Amino acid sequence: MKLITKQIALAIVLLAFVGLVQACAGSNSPQVNSESIVKEAPPTSLAFQVSDLAINPFEVNSGVEVIITASVTNTGGTESNYIAEVKLELVNSQLFPYLLSSEGATIAPGESQLLSVSVAMITPGAYKVTWGELTGEFRVVQPAEETESSNNKSTTSAPITATWIKPQVAGDTVSIPVSEVNDNKIIHFNVAVALGSEMAFMAYNIDGKLNVRANVCPPCRSIGFSLSKDTLICDTCRTTFKAKTGDGISGGCVGYPKAAVPYEISDGKIVMRSNELLVAYQNTMEPGLP
């Protein structure tokens, strides 16, 4: 009987010892508190905001190019590449929408870039444009014809396309023949600057007065204008300007008036100075300057 009692007592002691060891081990184990877990910060999200949607021109003839522009701002925290995805739908039609894409643009955080896509539609009608959360519209119509009463012939009214010529450069002066402007109505010419780049200019005659202006449309990066009566038309975005003053009329690049270049007439030539050409070009590259 005493032997059994001793065995039971020994078993109790062993159980108590094992419990003590486990308790000590548990006290040394790390305690996990769900509130104290440090979560790894998620990567900075890529975010862009689209604003200032512009569609030019609003109405075009079938097959004529339309330029769609918008300002894209990087509202995220890292420099990122943005490719515009623009949806184009023919209103009241069962046709699938067209998807347009721009070239990729790398935009730094907080910075904005003006991006554009172009399209020329054949089917007449109203087209809805969707870029991000912004929407707009333009119309495609059949080319209008006007009747010329003098000979009863139908002719299509079209702007005069400019002719490119090469100017004469002598020292700090640049000159072009007056006859070239009179014969072609509107001419374009380039003037070389440092590092092999060039500045473009145009000259035309309105109501007997010669005009020389910078030939550049900064937002759409166009070089080239056509002349329609007393209106200049950008060959790329179709923004219109007053030919007499260079001021914008309508379109996406209307805020960049075409600065005039001073000149003199000598020996049948329009003579300009290099520094005044540069000033006019730089003014045209800045919004709102004359």
Domains of the chain: 48-141 (2.60.40.10), 157-285 (2.102.10.10)
pLDDT recorded at residue 280: 93
Q: What is the pLDDT along the chain (290 residues), one digit of tens a residue?
A: 444 455 555 555 455 554 554 544 444 444 434 333 344 444 444 688 999 899 888 888 877 888 888 899 999 888 889 988 888 888 887 666 778 777 788 999 999 988 888 887 777 888 899 998 899 998 888 765 443 444 444 444 578 999 999 999 999 999 999 999 999 999 999 998 866 678 999 999 988 899 999 998 888 777 889 999 899 998 877 888 999 999 989 877 888 999 999 999 999 999 999 999 999 999 998 887 65
Query: Tokens representing 214?
Result: 């910078």
pLDDT recorded at residue 238: 81
Could you tell me the CA-to-CA distances from 11 to 5, 16, 115 in Å, in that order? 10, 9, 84
Please tell me the distance from the alpha carbon of residue 196 to that of residue 198, in angstroms, as a whole number. 7
The SS3 call for residue 131 is strand
Please tell me the distance from the alpha carbon of residue 211 to that of residue 283, in angstroms, as a whole number. 16
Query: Tokens representing 95?
Result: 């046709």
Query: What is the separation, in whole angstroms, between the first and last Cα of the chain?
Result: 119
Instruction: Please choose, from the candidates 182, 194, 187, the residue with its C-alpha nearest in 3D space to the C-alpha of residue 215.
Output: 187
Query: Tokens representing 286?
Result: 């800045």
Could you tell me the CA-to-CA distances from 177 to 117, 140, 182, 198, 200 in Å, in that order? 38, 40, 9, 20, 17
pLDDT recorded at residue 84: 85
* DSSP secondary structure letter of residue 93: -
Could you tell me the CA-to-CA distances from 268 to 3, 126, 177, 181 in Å, in that order? 138, 50, 6, 11
